[in-house]
Amino acid sequence: MPIKIADDLPARAILEGEGVVVMREADAVRQDIRPLRIALLNLMPDKISTETQLARLLGATPLQVELTLVRISDHVSRNTSADHMASFYRPWSDVRDERFDGFIITGAPVETLPFEEVSYWDELRAILDWTQTHVHRSLSICWAAQAALHHFHGVGKHGLERKAFGLFRHHNHMPSSPWMRGFSDDFCVPVSRWSEVRRQDIPEGRGLQILAESDESGLCLIGDPGRGFLHMFNHLEYDTLTLAEEYARDGARQLPAYYFPDDDPAQTPRNHWRSHAHLLFGNWIDEMYQTVPFDLGRVGAAVLTAA
C-alpha cells in the first residue's frame, strides 16, 4: 500500500523514482479504509533529507500511511527554507488536540548541550507527555531517544571524547520481541553521535528492554512498552551516502569506522543495513496496527503494552 504525503513535497519525486508507491491526496480520500496517521517531529537541520528517508521506510509497508510533518512551535529552522516549512510543516501547537496512531521524533544537533539548555526543551517535554494521551506508539531517534529516556526515567547521557561514527555490528538481544521479528542475530547499523546512554544507567523495574547493542558503540535499541515507545540511538534510516556526506561536511576529520571499502573514502560505500531498516519500521507499524483502536478517539486512553 502507498504512503500519502503532500503532492508538492520534494520527497514525492525521489520516492516515485525509486518505485515507492505514493498516493495523491485526491485519491486517498476515495479509499474506503482508515489510514494509519503518523506524525513526524523533524528536529534535524536538513529536514528534506530526513523526511525523505523516513517517508521511504514508512511507504514500504503494506498499510496506507498518512504522514503529517510537525515542527517545534516557536523554533525557526536555519537550514530549511521558510517556504518549505510553511508549506509542509505544522507547529505542534496546531496538532496537539489531534490523535495519531504513531509519532516519530528525530535526533537534533544539540547533543553536547545539557537537556535543560536546549531552547525548545520545555516544549519537547510537553510533547513527550502529550504522546501518553494522544499517540498509540512512538519512535524516538538518536538525541530524541536520549531525551525521552531522561524525561520519563531520569536516565542521563554521557559526552564522548571522540564521535561514535561509522557502521557498527550490533547484537540482537531479544529476537522474540515484536520489534525484532526477522532480525539477524547480528546486523550493521550506522552510528553518528557525540553522546551515549550507558547500560549501567538503565533503571531496573521500569520494564525497559535492551533489544540491540554493539560491543564497540554501545546501546542501540530500547523498548519501553509501558510508555508505548521504541528508542533508537542510531540511524537505520540513513541513506547509503549519509555518513560520507557527514564526513565531508566535518572536514574529513574522522573517518567513519567500517564504512568505506578498505577505509578508502574514494570508494563508494555499500549499504549493509537497508533490509534491517525496512524490518524495523515494518515491525513497528505492524505492531501498531495490530493493537491500535479503530476509533482514533480512543487512542491514548491507555497505553497498551506490547506483547
Q: Of the listed 142, 170, 231, 276, which one is catalytic? A: 142
pTM of the predicted model as reported, rounded to 2 decimal places: 0.88
Spatial separation of the C-alpha atoms in residues 196 and 219, rounded to whole Å = 8
Spatial separation of the C-alpha atoms in residues 213 and 171, rounded to whole Å = 5
Q: Of the listed 134, 150, 231, 235, which one is catalytic? A: 235
Q: Which residues pair with 91 in a beta bridge?
A: 71
Q: How far is CA 297 from the centre of its chain?
A: 25
State yes or no: is 235 an active-site residue: yes
State yes or no: is 220 an active-site residue: no
Name every residue whose Cβ is closer than 8 Å to that of residue 270 and which is 6 or more positions away in sequence: 240, 261
> 163 labelled as ligand-binding?
yes
* Rounded CA Rg of the chain: 18
Q: What residues does each domain of the chain span? A: 1-31, 33-159+194-240+273-297
**Selection from 222, 119, 216 nearest residue 173 by Cα:** 222
State yes or no: is 237 an active-site residue: yes
**Residue 125: what pLDDT?**
98
> 249 labelled as ligand-binding?
yes
- Tell me the CA distances in angstroms from 240 to 78, 153, 263, one per residue in order: 25, 34, 15
Spatial separation of the C-alpha atoms in residues 208 and 273, rounded to whole Å = 25
Q: Of the listed 66, 237, 276, 287, which one is catalytic? A: 237
The secondary structure of 208-257 as a DSSP string is -EEEEEETTTEEEEEEEGGGTEEEE-S-TT--TTHHHHHHHHTTT-SPPB
> 192 labelled as ligand-binding?
yes
The secondary structure of 43-60 as a DSSP string is -SSSHHHHHHHHHHHHTT
All three cell numbers of 159, joined, read 559526552
CATH code linked to domain 33-159+194-240+273-297 = 3.40.50.880
Q: What is the pLDDT along the chain (307 residues), one digit of tens a residue?
A: 455 667 777 777 776 676 565 656 554 444 446 789 999 999 999 999 999 999 999 999 878 899 999 999 987 777 778 888 889 999 999 999 999 999 999 999 999 999 999 999 999 999 999 999 999 999 999 999 999 999 999 999 999 999 999 999 999 999 999 999 999 999 999 999 999 999 999 999 999 999 999 999 999 999 999 999 999 999 999 999 999 999 999 999 999 999 999 999 999 999 999 999 999 999 999 999 888 888 888 887 644 444 3
